[in-house]
Structure 1
Amino acid sequence: MIKSIVIVGGGTAGWITANHLAVALGGAGKSSVQITLLESPDIPTVGVGEGTVPAMRNTLAHFGIRETDFLRECDATFKQSIKFVDWVHNPGASVNNFYHHVFDYPAIYPLNTVPYWLLEPNNLKFADAVSLQGKVCDAGLAPKMITHPEFQGVTEYAYHLDAGKFSQLLANNAVNKLGVKHVKANLTDVDIDESGDIQFVKTDRAGDLKGDLFVDCSGFNALLIDKKYKVKFIDQSQHLFVDTALAMQVPYQNPDDPIASHTIATAKQSGWIWDIGLSSRRGVGYVYSSQYTDDTSAEETLRNYVGGAASELQCRKISMKIGYREKFWVNNCVSIGLSQGFVEPLEATGLLLFDAAAKMLAELLPGHKQDMAKTSRLFNQRSTYTWKRVIDFIKMHYYLSQRDDSEFWIDNRKASSAPQSLLEALDLWHNRPPSEYDFFSRFEAFNLDNYLYVLYGMEFQTNMSGIAGRYTQAEKSQEFYRRFSQQFDELKTQLEPNRKLLGRIKKYGLQTC
Structure 2
Amino acid sequence: MPPSTDFNPMTSRPLAGQNASNDPDRRCHVVIVGGGTAGWMSAATLKRRIGCRVTVVESARLPPIGVGEATIPAMVDWIENMGIDEDEFVRRTGATYKLAIRFDDWVEPTHRYWHPFGICGCPIDGVDLIHAWRRAVREGAVSADSRYTDYSFQRELCQHGCAPRRPGSPSMARNYAFHLDAGKLAEFLKDVAMNEGVRHQIAEVTGAELDENGNIDSLHLEGQPALEADLYVDCTGFASVLIERVMRSSWVDWSDQLICDRAVTLRLPGQDDTNATAGSDRETRRLPPYTISTGMNAGWSWQIPLAENTGCGYVYSSRHIDDETARRELISLVGADPQTTQSKIVPMRIGMRPRSWVGNCVALGLSSGFVEPLESTGIFLVQRALDELVECLPEATPSTFHSAFFDHELFNARMTDVYTQVRDFLLMHYVVSRRRDTPFWVNATSVELPESLSMLLDEYVTSGRVRLPERDPTFAEANHHFILGPAGIHPGTAASRQLADVAMPADAVANLLHGIQSRHLDICESLPTHSVLIDSIHSSASAGNSSDDQSVRPPYDSLLAMNLPS
TM-score (norm 2): 0.84
Mapped to 1, the partners of 2:161 and 2:241 lie a distance apart of: 43
Query: Paired residue for 2:322?
Result: 294
Q: What is the one-letter code of the residue matched to 1:333?
A: C
Q: 1:60 to 1:206 in 2, by over 3 A?
A: farther
Does the aligned pair in 1 maintain the 2:263–2:345 contact within 8 Å? yes
Query: Paired residue for 1:396?
Result: 428
Query: Paired residue for 2:17?
Result: none
**1:327 partnered with 2:351:** no
Query: Paired residue for 1:309?
Result: 337
Q: What is the one-letter code of the residue matched to 1:163?
A: A
Mapped to 1, the partners of 2:458 and 2:112 lie a distance apart of: 24
**1:510 partnered with 2:547:** yes
Q: Secondary structure at the match of 2:462?
A: coil
**1:210 partnered with 2:228:** yes
Does the aligned pair in 1 maintain the 2:70–2:179 contact within 8 Å? yes
Mapped to 2, the partners of 1:215 and 1:510 lie a distance apart of: 36
Q: Deviations for 1:322-369, whole angstroms, at most 9, x for unmatched residues?
A: 000120100000000000010011100211101111222133321314
Q: How does 1:218-367 map to 2 (within 5 A)?
A: 218-252=236-270, 257-367=285-395
Query: Paired residue for 1:123?
Result: 145
Deviation at 1:19, TM superposition (A): 1.1
Specify which of 470, 475, 480 is matched with residue 446 of structure 1.
475
Does the aligned pair in 2 maintain the 1:386–1:443 contact within 8 Å? no
Query: Paired residue for 1:28?
Result: none
Specify which of 87, 105, 116 is matched with residue 106 of structure 2.
87
Q: Any stretches of 5+ residues in structure 2 without a counterpart? A: 1-25, 139-143, 274-283, 541-545, 552-566
Does the aligned pair in 2 maintain the 1:84–1:264 contact within 8 Å? yes
| Structure 1, 304-313 or 322-331: larger mean CA deviation | 304-313
Deviation at 1:102, TM superposition (A): 0.5
Does the aligned pair in 2 maintain the 1:99–1:125 contact within 8 Å? no
Q: Deviations for 1:88-114, whole angstroms, at most 9, x for unmatched residues?
A: 11x24xxxx211111122334244321
Deviation at 1:206, TM superposition (A): 3.6
Query: Paired residue for 1:163?
Result: 182
Query: Paired residue for 2:414?
Result: 382
Deviation at 1:260, TM superposition (A): 1.0
Q: Deviations for 1:135-192, whole angstroms, at most 9, x for unmatched residues?
A: 210211111111414xx3335210000111111111111112x111111111112111
Q: 1:262 to 1:348 in 2, by over 3 A?
A: same
* Aligned residue-pair number: 495
TM-score (norm 1): 0.92
Query: Paired residue for 1:106?
Result: 120
Q: 1:193 to 1:53 in 2, by over 3 A?
A: same
Deviation at 1:47, TM superposition (A): 2.8
Q: Secondary structure at the match of 1:430?
A: helix
Specify which of 145, 166, 172 is matched with residue 145 of structure 1.
166
Q: 1:205 to 1:124 in 2, by over 3 A?
A: farther
Does the aligned pair in 1 maintain the 2:328–2:338 contact within 8 Å? no
**1:4 partnered with 2:23:** no
Q: Any stretches of 5+ residues in structure 1 without a counterpart? A: 26-30
Q: What is the one-letter code of the residue matched to 2:230?
A: D
Deviation at 1:465, TM superposition (A): 8.1
Deviation at 1:376, TM superposition (A): 0.8
Q: 1:6 to 1:322 in 2, by over 3 A?
A: same
Q: What is the one-letter code of the residue matched to 1:460?
A: I
Mapped to 2, the partners of 1:466 and 1:424 lie a distance apart of: 16
Q: What is the one-letter code of the residue matched to 1:157?
A: Y
Does the aligned pair in 2 maintain the 1:127–1:457 contact within 8 Å? no
Q: Secondary structure at the match of 2:232?
A: strand
| Structure 1, 203-212 or 158-167: larger mean CA deviation | 203-212
Deviation at 1:463, TM superposition (A): 4.4
**1:462 partnered with 2:491:** yes
Mapped to 2, the partners of 1:441 and 1:251 lie a distance apart of: 45
Q: Deviations for 1:234-284, whole angstroms, at most 9, x for unmatched residues?
A: 000111011100000100279994211000000012101100000000001
Superposed CA RMSD: 2.1
**1:417 partnered with 2:465:** no
Query: Paired residue for 2:40?
Result: 15
Deviation at 1:300, TM superposition (A): 1.3
Q: Secondary structure at the match of 2:537?
A: helix
Mapped to 2, the partners of 1:476 and 1:16 lie a distance apart of: 48
Q: What is the one-letter code of the residue matched to 2:236?
A: S
Q: What is the one-letter code of the residue matched to 2:417?
A: Y
Q: Secondary structure at the match of 1:417?
A: coil
Q: Deviations for 1:192-237, whole angstroms, at most 9, x for unmatched residues?
A: 1111110111112442110010000010000011111111110001
Mapped to 1, the partners of 2:354 and 2:163 lie a distance apart of: 41
Q: What is the one-letter code of the residue matched to 2:456?
A: A
Q: Secondary structure at the match of 2:220?
A: strand
| Structure 1, 163-172 or 483-492: larger mean CA deviation | 483-492
Mapped to 1, the partners of 2:439 and 2:134 lie a distance apart of: 31
Question: Percent identity of the aligned residues?
Answer: 33
Query: Paired residue for 2:514?
Result: 482
Does the aligned pair in 2 maintain the 1:108–1:114 contact within 8 Å? no
Q: What is the one-letter code of the residue matched to 2:482?
A: Y
Does the aligned pair in 1 maintain the 2:208–2:219 contact within 8 Å? yes
